[in-house]
């Protein structure tokens, strides 16, 4: 059975490869950063099992490793590793391959959705091929492997070329590549520390009594604002859902939780378009494109975010309470 631990192990191997290449190029801090992260991803399951068995030392070592990552990150700076090919070569390949270049990219969402929807039906001699609790993520891992093979077949390049290009991109992003994971974890920390209950109390005290529309507006705006603050809708979602979504909109006013969750996340994504905290979405592309202002991507997205939020809010008003 393909489980999430095996997907994490694949990530660990790739990060270890990136760290090793950096050490060979005398990039000691960068190499140490990716090697430590590879160790964390590769040992995550063992750390959790040890913690459940009452052995805290592995978790403490993992915590020390996270602190080490935070201390190393400011030393990384911006880096653009040497290209594996010239612009002229890439242009010639693009003209020769044409739209076939889209095939590997399209394989990733197609395979991921197929596994998420039908992975529980796939069995081999009575054994499930995918863990039912993590089918989407394990499907994504499988999709990436298939896409790497497809890219190698389409371009005629060895799979090692894809690894080298992936390493180049990862080094270019640097520590910002970790932001989605860290910010999603921050949302859980906020939820467990009682931020959601505090928001629910404030909402109950300040909003008009019995107004479902006012609660819905507070939820939608809260998703945007918390995403702006924390940089990721995945971090804002558990806080706002625990504070307003479940206790007020779903349990008190009978909102449809599926519609509320889907459109609420889209409201959060509007906040992602507006914040420099989402560095991997908004600041890294500005650096890669060598824009004059690091906030050029955000400025280009402002009206898209405003219009998208207005449409999402209108859809929520129409669909959430049906």
pLDDT digits (tens, 9 = 90+) for 109-128: 998 888 888 877 777 766 77
Confidence of residue 316 (pLDDT cuts 50, 70, 90): very high
- What's the pLDDT score for residue 220? 93
User: What does the pLDDT read at residue 174?
Assistant: 81
Statement: residue 197 has pLDDT above 80: no
In this predicted structure, the answer to whether residue 185 has a pLDDT above a threshold of 90 is: no
The model's pTM is: 0.71
* pLDDT for position 155: 83
Domain assignments of the chain as residue spans, ordered by start: 4-77, 87-157, 178-319
Structure confidence at residue 85 (pLDDT): 64
Q: Which range among 54-58, 173-177, 244-248 has the greatest average pLDDT?
A: 244-248
User: Average pLDDT, whole number, for the chain?
Assistant: 83
pLDDT at 304 over 80: yes
| pLDDT > 70? residue 84 | no
Reported as a pLDDT band with limits 50, 70 and 90, residue 247 is confident
Which H, E and C letters describe the chain, residue by residue?
CECHHHHHHHHHHHHHHHHHHHHHCCCHHHHHHHHHHHHHHHHHHHHHHHHHCCCCHHHHHHHHHHHHHHHHHHHCCCCCCCCCCCHHHHHHHHHHHHHHHHHHHHHHHHHHHHHHHHHHHCEECCEECECHHHHHHHHHHHHHHHHHHHHHHHHCCCHHHHHHHHHHHHHHHHHHHHHHHHHHHHHHHHHHCCHHHHHHHHHHHHCCCCCHHHHHHHHHHHHHHHHHHHCCHHHHHHHHHHHHHHHHHHCCCCCCHHHHHHHHHHHHHHHHCCCCCCHHHHCHHHHHCCCCCCCHHHHHHHHHHHHHHHHHHHHHHHHCCC
> pLDDT digit string (tens) for 27-53?
888 989 999 999 988 887 777 778 777
Which of the two residues, 26 and 267, has the higher pLDDT score?
A: 267
Residue 193 has pLDDT above 90, yes or no: no
pLDDT of residue 83: 57
Say if residue 100's pLDDT is above 60.
Answer: yes
Q: Stretch 78-99: mean pLDDT, rounded? A: 70
Average pLDDT over residues 14-27: 90
Per-residue pLDDT reduced to its tens digit, 125-147:
667 777 777 788 888 888 888 99
- Give the model's pLDDT for residue 82: 59
Of residues 193 and 218, the one with the higher pLDDT is: 218
Query: Per-residue pLDDT averaged across 183-192, rounded?
Result: 72
Segment 270-279 mean pLDDT: 88
pLDDT the model gives residue 159 = 86
| 18-32, 78-92, 182-196: which is most confident | 18-32
pLDDT greater than 70 at residue 194 = yes
């Amino acid at each position: 059975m393909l489980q999430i631990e095996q997907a994490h192990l694949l990530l660990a191997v790739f990060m270890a490869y990136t760290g090793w290449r950096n050490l060979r190029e005398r990039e000691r801090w960068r190499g140490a950063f990716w090697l430590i992260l590879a160790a964390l991803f590769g040992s995550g399951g063992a750390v959790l099992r040890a913690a459940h068995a009452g052995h805290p030392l592995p978790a403490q070592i993992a915590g020390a490793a996270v602190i080490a990552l935070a201390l190393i990150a400011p030393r990384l700076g911006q880096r653009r590793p040497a290209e594996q090919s010239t612009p002229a070569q890439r242009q010639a390949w693009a003209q020769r391959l044409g739209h076939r270049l889209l095939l590997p990219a399209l394989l990733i969402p197609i395979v991921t959705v197929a596994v998420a929807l039908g992975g529980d039906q796939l069995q081999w001699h009575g054994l499930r091929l995918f863990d039912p609790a993590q089918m989407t993520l394990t499907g994504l891992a499988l999709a990436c492997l298939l896409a790497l093979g497809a890219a190698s077949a389409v371009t005629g390049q060895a799979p090692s070329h894809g690894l080298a290009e992936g390493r180049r991109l990862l080094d270019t992003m640097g520590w910002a590549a970790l932001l989605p994971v860290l910010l999603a974890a921050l949302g859980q920390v906020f939820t467990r520390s009682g931020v959601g209950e505090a928001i629910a109390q404030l909402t109950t005290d300040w909003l008009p009594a019995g107004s479902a529309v006012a609660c819905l507006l507070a939820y939608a705006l809260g998703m945007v604002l918390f995403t702006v603050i924390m940089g990721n809708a995945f971090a804002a979602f558990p806080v706002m859902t625990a504070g307003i979504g479940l206790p007020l909109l779903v349990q008190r006013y009978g909102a449809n939780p599926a519609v509320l969750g889907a459109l609420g996340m889209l409201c959060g994504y509007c906040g992602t378009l507006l914040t420099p905290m989402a560095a991997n979405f908004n600041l890294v592309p500005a650096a890669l494109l060598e824009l004059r202002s690091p906030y050029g991507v955000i400025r280009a997205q402002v009206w898209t975010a405003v219009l998208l939020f207005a449409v999402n809010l209108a859809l929520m008003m129409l669909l959430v309470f049906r």
